[in-house]
Amino acid sequence: MPKITVEGFDSFEVEEGKKLVLALEDNGVPIMHRCGGNARCTTCRVEIVAGDAGPLNELEAHIIEARNFEKNIRLSCQLHCHNDLTVKPVMLSTDSAADAGPRPKDD
């Protein structure tokens, strides 16, 4: 089981292949996901501090390129956990007046 370490929070193990956004939310990290995990809003961005996040899927690659994000920025709604990672969330619901957004689907 991959171990996820979240800067400013805790470390936890997650099921192989689980979406990172759900792993974060299920373990008490108030990650934003305003579009419900559809890679449209980019509020679920995380900085990959350490570890191999795996390849970008086509949708995530398009969004990251279009927004000109740094190479170590990923969309947690598109990233599936397969390796140990250390991440730093870019946006938290506790830092915003808005709610986190609808829970992303687990697919």
Number of domains in the chain: 1
Q: Pick left, alpha or beta for residue 85 (phi over 0 → left; psi -120 to 50 → alpha; otherwise beta).
A: beta
What's the pLDDT band for 107 if we cut at 50, 70, 90? confident
Q: Give domain status of residue 104, yes or no.
A: no
Q: Give domain status of residue 53, yes or no.
A: yes
Q: What gap in Å lies between CA 5 and CA 103, rounded to an integer?
A: 21
CATH number at residue 45: 3.10.20.30
Q: Give domain status of residue 81, yes or no.
A: yes
Quote the pLDDT of residue 6: 98
The model's pTM: 0.95
Task: Encode pLDDT of 21-77 as tens digits.
Answer: 999 999 999 999 999 999 999 999 999 999 999 999 999 999 999 999 999 999 999
Q: Give domain status of residue 103, yes or no.
A: no
